[in-house]
Amino acid sequence: MLEIYNTLAREKQEFVPIVPGKVGLYVCGMTVYDYCHLGHARVMVVFDMAVKWLEASGYAVNYVRNITDIDDKIIRRAIENGESIGELTARFIEAMHEDASALGVAPPDHEPRATQYVEHMISMTNTLIAKGLAYPAPNGDVYYSVHDFEGYGRLSGKSLEDLRAGERVEVDPSKRDALDFVLWKSAKPGEPSWDSPWGKGRPGWHIECSAMSEELLGEHFDIHGGGQDLQFPHHENEIAQSEGAHGHKFVNYWMHNGFVRVDDEKMSKSLGNFFTVREVLEKFDAEVVRFFILRAHYRSPLNYSDQHLMDAKAALTRLYTALRRLEVLEVSDHSSCDNLDWDTQYAKRFRAAMDDDFNTPEAIAVLFDMATEANISNSVPLSIQLRKLGGVLGLLQRDPRQFLQGDSKQSQGMSAGQIDTLIQQRTDARKAKDFAESDRVRNELLQAGIILEDGPQGTTWRRA
RNA sequence: GGCGGGGUGGCAGAGUGGUCAUGCAGCGGCCUGCAAAGCCGUCCACACCGGUUCGAUUCCGAUCCCCGCCUCCA
């Protein structure tokens, strides 16, 4: 039985889908004006893991992850770059797909773009006006009237009074209430715009998710996710919009993942302390990055540093080393766990961990216990199960040798051929009991970052 | 200021009212020509002060400190 920590309830709750066997999941994705940083990677990996677990649990998941392809920052960046908005967003959407794919993140079932749903946003805004929850202002903007939506602040645990006390921005005179947020922005000269009942303009940020989730998942669906920083105001405003427009419950379970940090501070664009996914992938294997993310619970903060990535690499190396020992090289299907035996003690522990609010650190600990036993017993079935359970997390699906020896085209050290030649030289020296020469060759390889391991079947190697 | 989340062994990171997290690192051993890998053993914890309890790292209260949201942000 799966339990999910529901931000709305501030506690773990048993997951009960609206329609038995099915899950509707919406996750707020990227605003595409720059490369993904590690924070974005975390959202993608975490919800990819959640989808994989839901599927392994027998649910048919309808996963929607949107793309914001129109907003102030995009407009500004396009002007700075001297390119069109379409060129800019197409470029970064493609980059995002490359990053996601590298990290083993499966594409969502739907990836709607805001610009494709402007009609829906206009009609939803109209509905909100008709219901007295929104109003057009003299400046051509349309605002949501926060005061008129009962329960505003429930998700973020804030009251209107608290919010007012903490106001840090100057009040826009066209708003009736300082906390009202924009549904529709009137176009400034030169900006991209759409026709609407309130003149030319473009949608505000929050309305897109309300409109697109309704189109693709319906007015009421199971799980809505995103980074913790979206809890307020973005998700709070989505609730106000969707529940205001529909007159009933919007989402049953809200999931928020914790931040990636650098030196104990949130990694963010505004602080400028971010690392892009592609920067990190130049230094570290993508599976190591995925492992690093999944090694912490999704709601905990995750501190980034090279040292922590190196630790993650060492840990993942242990798992792959265990797999290599047993020569379990056949590649299994990533998504399928058809012939995974869930009745073993290990699988039960794994399941219990994952059912407990996606406790991946605990699930990974089970993997290590399996590796230890596999190393002792040399049990091939156990090793296969280790690989399959790893596969549920999107890990351990590669040929162990490929992981341990690295991709020859991306490593700038010795080629496999050179290494083999030196190993043969050393083997000959060892046969002749010339250990001085043998150790010299081994040291030469070590200098090149190659570690040798002598085994019953001969000498194998891996990259440090 | 308001609201929320935390402080676990050298590092990372789970968890629990009373014998094990897990990984890396350290130490001792086995194995090895020597290593590496692996195995066995082992050291190092639960911010601080009170309270509840037969017993608290785990529950309650106070204190200190950190982080996040309240503004675009995953």
pLDDT band at A167 (very low <50, low <70, confident <90, very high): low
Q: Answer with the residue of higher pLDDT: A330 or A231.
A: A231
The gap between A365 CA and B26 C1' (Å) is 21
- Give nearest nucleotide to A263 (CA–C1'): B67
Q: Give the CA distances from residue A332 to residues A50, A258, A337, in Å, rounded to whole numbers and listed in that order.
A: 20, 31, 9
- Give nearest nucleotide to A230 (CA–C1'): B74
Amino acid at A359: N
Tens digit of each residue's pLDDT (9 = 90 or more) over A393-446: 999 999 999 999 986 444 567 888 899 999 999 999 999 999 999 999 999 999
Which phi and psi angles does A68 have, rounded to 5°? -90, 110
Domain A3-257 has CATH 3.40.50.2000: no
Looking at A100-234, which runs of residues are DSSP E strands?
Answer: 134-136, 142-144, 181-186, 201-203, 221-227
- Give nearest nucleotide to A455 (CA–C1'): B37
* Distance (Å, whole) CA A91 – CA A95: 6
Q: In chain A, pLDDT over 90 holds for what percent of residues?
A: 83
**Sign of the dihedral through C-alpha A316, A357, A228, A45:** positive
Tens digit of each residue's pLDDT (9 = 90 or more) over A134-152: 999 999 999 999 999 998 9
Predicted local confidence at residue A333, as pLDDT: 47
Q: Is residue A7 over pLDDT 60?
A: yes
Q: In b/e form, how buried is each residue of A35-63, taking b as 16+ CB within 10 angstroms? A: bbbbbbbbbbbbbbbbbbbbbbbebebbb
- Give nearest nucleotide to A72 (CA–C1'): B72
Q: Is residue A263 over pLDDT 90?
A: no
Residue A37, CB-side half-sphere exposure with 13 Å CA sphere: 20
The gap between A351 CA and B19 C1' (Å) is 25
The gap between A165 CA and B2 C1' (Å) is 7
What is the enclosing helix (H) or strand (E) of A446?
helix A435-447
pLDDT band at A335 (very low <50, low <70, confident <90, very high): very low
- Give nearest nucleotide to A301 (CA–C1'): B67
Note whether ipTM > 0.90 here: yes
**Sign of the dihedral through C-alpha A275, A276, A282, A284:** positive
pLDDT band at A196 (very low <50, low <70, confident <90, very high): very high
Q: Is residue A327 over pLDDT 80?
A: no
The domain spans of chain A are 3-257, 265-404, 408-463
Tens digit of each residue's pLDDT (9 = 90 or more) over A106-138: 999 999 999 999 999 999 999 999 999 999 999
The gap between A450 CA and B20 C1' (Å) is 35
Q: What is the DSSP letter of A177?
A: S
Predicted local confidence at residue A306, as pLDDT: 94
Contacts of A141 (CB under 8 A, 6+ apart): A174, A182, A184, A185, A186, A198, A201
The gap between A261 CA and B63 C1' (Å) is 28
**End-to-end Cα separation, chain A, in angstroms:** 41
Average model confidence (pLDDT) across chain A: 93
Tell me the average pLDDT across A318-336. 71
Which chain B positions come under 7 Å from a protein C-beta? Answer: 1-5, 11-15, 21-25, 32-40, 66-74
Tell me the average pLDDT across A334-339. 53
The gap between A361 CA and B13 C1' (Å) is 7
The gap between A452 CA and B42 C1' (Å) is 28
Contacts of A57 (CB under 8 A, 6+ apart): A2, A355
The CATH class of A265-404 is: mainly alpha
The gap between A388 CA and B66 C1' (Å) is 39
Residue A19, CB-side half-sphere exposure with 13 Å CA sphere: 12
Tens digit of each residue's pLDDT (9 = 90 or more) over A266-315: 999 888 899 999 999 999 999 999 999 999 999 999 999 999 999 999 99
Tell me the average pLDDT across A22-50. 97
* Distance (Å, whole) CA A126 – CA A124: 5
Predicted local confidence at residue A270, as pLDDT: 83
The gap between A319 CA and B26 C1' (Å) is 22
Q: Give the CA distances from residue A211 to residues A111, A125, A218, in Å, rounded to whole numbers and listed in that order.
A: 13, 9, 10
- Give nearest nucleotide to A28 (CA–C1'): B74
The gap between A314 CA and B71 C1' (Å) is 41
Predicted local confidence at residue A103, as pLDDT: 98
**Sign of the dihedral through C-alpha A339, A343, A348, A352:** positive
